Copies of this chain bind each other. A is one copy, B any other.
Amino acid sequence: MPYVNIKITREGATSEQKAALIKGVTDLLVTVLDKNPATTFVVIDEVAFEDWGVGGLPVEEYRKQLKAKS
């Protein structure tokens, strides 16, 4: 009975893409660990840009700096 939580930045993932993540992760747990899909939960969290930091910066700022450097 696995529980999987996927956090991604909010940038337009569609319902179809989310359904693909749910199916893909569940299939993976069935294949690798023989888990029962009926008791496999997947919860997706979309996180606003200003709420996600990397490199000490909010993610949008971070991407700008990466681009400027390249």
CB–CB A1/B58 < 8 A: no
CB–CB B58/A26 < 8 A: no
Q: Which residue of B lies closest to A38 (CB)?
A: B55
CB–CB A26/B7 < 8 A: no
A14-42 interface bits toward B, Cβ cutoff 8 Å, 1 = contact, 0 = none? 01011111111111110111010111111
Chain A interfacial positions (CB closer than 8 Å to B): 1-9, 13, 15, 17-29, 31-33, 35, 37-47, 50-59, 61
CB–CB A32/B17 < 8 A: yes
Give chain B nearest CB distance to A33 CB in angstroms: 6
CB–CB B37/A55 < 8 A: yes
Give chain B nearest CB distance to A68 CB in angstroms: 15
